[in-house]
Amino acid sequence: MAQNLLRDIATNPDIHENRFHMLWNSILTFHFPVSFEYGVAPQTSITGTETKPEFLVVKVAREFESIVLVVELKKPSEDTDAGHENVKRELVDYIEERFGETQFTTIYAIAGIGLSWSAFRMANYGPPEPELVYGWMSNVTAVKSFELMNELALMIDQMTGTTRDFQSRRVVLCINAIEFFYSGYVGS
Each of the 188 residues of the chain gets a pLDDT tens digit; together they read 667 776 767 677 778 787 888 899 999 999 999 999 999 988 755 444 456 778 889 998 877 889 999 999 999 999 999 999 999 999 999 999 889 889 999 999 999 999 999 999 999 988 888 999 999 999 999 999 999 999 999 999 999 999 887 655 555 556 555 655 555 544 43
Distance in angstroms (rounded) separating the CA atoms of residues 88 and 140: 17
With 0-12 / 13-18 / 19 or more C-beta atoms within 10 angstroms meaning exposed / middle / buried, residue 7 is exposed
Between CA 110 and CA 75, with CA 66 as vertex, the angle to 5 degrees is 25
CATH class held by domain 2-162: alpha beta
For the question of whether the overall pTM of this predicted structure is more than 0.95, the answer is: no
